[in-house]
Chains A and B, each alone.
Chain A
Amino acid sequence: MRSSLYILLKSPKFMIGVCLLFVFFAFIVIYPMINTNDPLEMVNMRFQPPSSKNILGTDGFGRDVLLEMAHGTRTSLTVGVISGLIATTVGLIIGIFSGYRGGIVDEILSSLTNVFIVIPSFIILILVSVSIQAKSVFIIAIIIGLTSWPWTARAVRAQTVSLRNRDHVNLARISGFNTVKIIVFEILPYIMSYVVMAFIIQLASGILSEASVSMLGLGPSNTISLGIMLNWALLQEAPLFNAWWTLIPPALTVALITFSFYLINLGMDEIFNPKIRS
């Protein structure tokens, strides 16, 4: 375990990812403490360029972009974590169950998974978002989570199938352990590393999905997120006024946060997958 941690800390990819993330965390925790205003408050005229009063200028509503960024990043991360958790849990349960049980259960669950893989999840996401009226951050996160589990399920199923007939699993089965116990104690530990990495990827793609849905104007209402900021900037014709400060910071933040998660994921891959360890 200690050596794993050591390898991780030595991995530049992992460390860059973690540092980047840490910067963002520090920003969303500390900045709202310094500037305790309501991020939705219109403090200045619209599309004011960066100045000492508004460090990142104001958006099309005359709101402070930097403060919005702090709250928006928080919302985006929340959506990412919740949707990532949901997607990973659902994918894990369906994957393990269908892989371990096999037979007709496997057939049904696999075809369900395949159906969801074939239908682009983003389309489902849009359709569901359109049909729901009052959208809280939590509901958006659930919708994203519930539409992005199939890949996890498929990968977990494949790993479970290969584990199912290992000796220690057979031994447990002969000893009379029930299915739940076997799954939890004999199978889960072997795929845990994969699951953690899948969660990180799901988290990152959850943030991207929220940004995409919100950019289409289907995001959570009465709150602020990075996607919503981009959506309003485009609707209010920010490019026409060269108001780059309303577009570039949120876009860059979405990109950097997801990038840092992917870097962490890559770094962890090096421990769990010795073949590519440098």
Chain B
Amino acid sequence: MLAGCGSKSNTKSADVENTTKTGETTTEKTQNEKTAAENKTDDLRKETLFITGLEWGPPSSFNYFTGVASFPVNNQNNMLVYETLFMYNGLSGEIEPLLAESYKWIDDYTIEVKLDKRAYFNDGEPVKIEDVIYTYELGKRYDILWSSLWTYIDSVESKSDDTIIFKLNKKDYNILAVTESLTNVPIHPKHIWEKIEKDANYDISEINKFFNESPVASGSYKIYSYDDTKITLVRDDNYWGKSKFGKLPAPKYITHILFKSNDAASLALKRGDLDYSQNFIPNVWKMWEDGAEVRTYLEEAPYYLSDSMPSIYFNLSKPGLDNPDVRRAIAYAIDYKKIIDIAMNGYSDVVEPALTVNNELESKYIDKDAIKPYQWKYDVDKANEILDSIGAKKGDDGIRVLPNGVRLGPWKLECPYGWTDWNATLEIIQQSAKKIGIELETYFPEDTVYENDRNTGNFDIVMSTPADVITPAQPWKRAHDILSAKELPPFGEQAYWNFGRYKNERAEKILELIPAEKDIERLRKLYTELTIIYLKDIPTIPLMYRPTYFFTVNESVWTNFPHENDGTGIPPYCFDGAGIKSLYNLKNK
């Protein structure tokens, strides 16, 4: 089914009842439209961009408050319906203007943002400073996606009718979190949500019940229809951004199809029923070898640009796994090349253990020579040597036992069922561990079980991608998700980072210093020291590099998607951040 797709929280069914009620009326509407539409199927096909891979289940709501809303409100930086002040370009590392025109630092603790006065919501009301302040302050009143921001911000104030001032907290000083917020706080219209808040009596659980069937927002698309199999958006021909971008996005409709499994999605892409897929597609080159007009962002292997590192997290409270030497031995025993070849279809380079991905944007923060002595690579002899040196002797069954009597296994290796690339990865790790006398068992439960196990710490070893988001706050965000124990819920409660509950005071200190630092040389020092701590303690083992979004398109209907050397500088994804610029360049074939 779905290939490993990051960390979504697990309360998706929070207001299922509400969903079904509102869902009924829409289904009727869709059916009527369908009959009318059948007459002009061809035209419709040309006007519609069919996509998949951003959403997995039937829509639960389009309400950001719930934290688990559906496409196109599922990612905070998805710009189709709700827009943010700026959009992040994961390719260049730049922050590009959207609802705002520009920003500048007044001093170390103050940012001034100038709003684009042309912007208006799709009900005709202009986007004003009040809307921005209102949206930010929602996070103060309720526990929502951008609430944690208020640790780092003292205030958001208006300076003039088009200028906003963000004052940063001097004690908890974090530049990264605040800049990130400029690219991922979806601006909500005050005049709409004020009423909703009031009707719900300012009770978040009541606000969460609001389905938000047709969101009033400033984006270029509106919700058109949805059911259990697809979500369709229609272009707002009255979109304010027409003046900003000079034109409207090309597709009149965007339909996200909700496939039951990956293989069905791959077949649809190959046939050209689908134009764009963010799914993992095994042996993608077979598609064009078989004559389909399919291509990826890079023309040749590894085909995709990687920006994340799926890893295994160790539960550091389990006897045996709490021993860093055991973890180090496992790190040496894993056949990383095999993971890339078999599980990842060669869509990655062999991973070099660190807190950073091996791209230019991130590797500039690391002194590669300094961390080299601490890095591991596939070496079974070395792994055995480590285990021998701590006195772990093999029992009759070939499994080692520590001197204190702790048997090395059986430990469960967990990831969701049907994420085939991850399943294969864990199968390889299981085989690797067997060779050094450690017994691991793969365990593939349903998504929701997996998420709950992972977040509450009910696991031995679990696979997950730390900070699987494209944001200007990388690689700090990833380091934080791996190492930080600050305000981390204990075992038994839902935690969304540091699942193994690692704790190190020096690492914590560095994680506080980095976001307050602007000087690249000092940043390099801090990141390098942090990486060495990480490589010594091994709370996680990175297994591969992986794109946050696999970018695969079929150009039989739409062409001109972003391309490695197309000179546009648009990152390889069409719906998040600066990637939406690609929609303006699309052309019918």
**A interface vs B, CB < 8 Å?**
38, 40-42, 45-47, 60-62, 133-134, 217, 221-222, 232, 234-237, 239-241
Contact = CB atoms under 8 A, between A and B. Distances in A.
B338 interface: yes
A42 B338 contact: yes
A239 B420 CA distance: 15
A70 to B, nearest CB: 18
Contacts of B283: 46-47, 240-241
23 contacts: A38-B431, A40-B427, A40-B431, A42-B338, A42-B428, A42-B431, A45-B341, A45-B342, A46-B283, A46-B342, A60-B424, A61-B424, A62-B338, A217-B417, A221-B442, A221-B443, A221-B444, A222-B442, A234-B263, A236-B282, A237-B266, A239-B263, A240-B263
Given A42-B342, A60-B420, A221-B442, A237 B427 contact: no
B63 interface: no
Contacts of A236: 282, 420, 424
Nearest to B440: A222
Nearest to B267: A240
A235 B418 contact: yes
B1 interface: yes
Nearest to B339: A42
A42 B338 CA distance: 9
Q: Which of B270, B342, B431 gathers the greatest number of chain A CB atoms within 10 Å?
A: B342
Residue of A40, A42, A60 ringed by the most chain B CB atoms within 10 A: A42
Interface string B452-481: 000000000000000000000000000000
A240 B417 contact: no
B346 to A, nearest CB: 9
A59 to B, nearest CB: 10
A175 B171 CA distance: 98
Q: Which 3 A-B pairs have the closest CB atoms?
A: A237-B263, A62-B342, A222-B441
Given A47-B283, A133-B443, A235-B420, 19 more contacts: A41-B431, A42-B338, A42-B427, A45-B342, A46-B345, A46-B424, A134-B443, A217-B417, A221-B442, A222-B430, A222-B441, A232-B420, A234-B263, A235-B423, A236-B282, A237-B262, A240-B267, A240-B286, A241-B286
Contacts of A241: 282-283, 286
Q: Which one of B345, B423, B441 has the highest number of Cβ atoms from chain A below 10 Å of its Cβ? A: B423
Given A133-B445, A222-B442, A237 B282 contact: yes
A245 B266 CA distance: 20
Interface in B255-273: 261-263, 266-267, 270
A217 B341 contact: no
A229 to B, nearest CB: 13
Contacts, number: 71
A133 B428 CA distance: 21
A61 B266 CA distance: 19
A240 B424 contact: no
Contacts of B286: 240-241
A140 B276 CA distance: 41
Contacts of A60: 282, 420, 424
Contacts of A237: 262-263, 266, 282, 420
A61 B427 contact: yes
Contacts of A239: 263
A45 B282 CA distance: 13
Contact of A240 (B270, B338, B427, B445): B270
A134 B424 CA distance: 19
A40 B420 CA distance: 16
A40 B428 CA distance: 9
Contacts of A222: 430, 441-442
Residue in B338, B427, B434 with the greatest tally of chain A CB atoms within 10 Å: B427
A62 to B, nearest CB: 5
Contacts of B418: 217, 235
Nearest to A41: B431
Nearest to B412: A134
A240 B266 CA distance: 8
B447 to A, nearest CB: 12
A241 B342 CA distance: 15
Contacts of B424: 46, 60-61, 236
A273 B176 CA distance: 83
A134 B286 CA distance: 37
Nearest to B283: A241
Contacts of B1: 235
Contacts of B431: 38, 40-42
A152 to B, nearest CB: 33
A232 to B, nearest CB: 8
A42 B343 CA distance: 11
Identify which of A60, A217, A237, A239 gathers the most chain B CB atoms within 10 Å of its CB.
A237
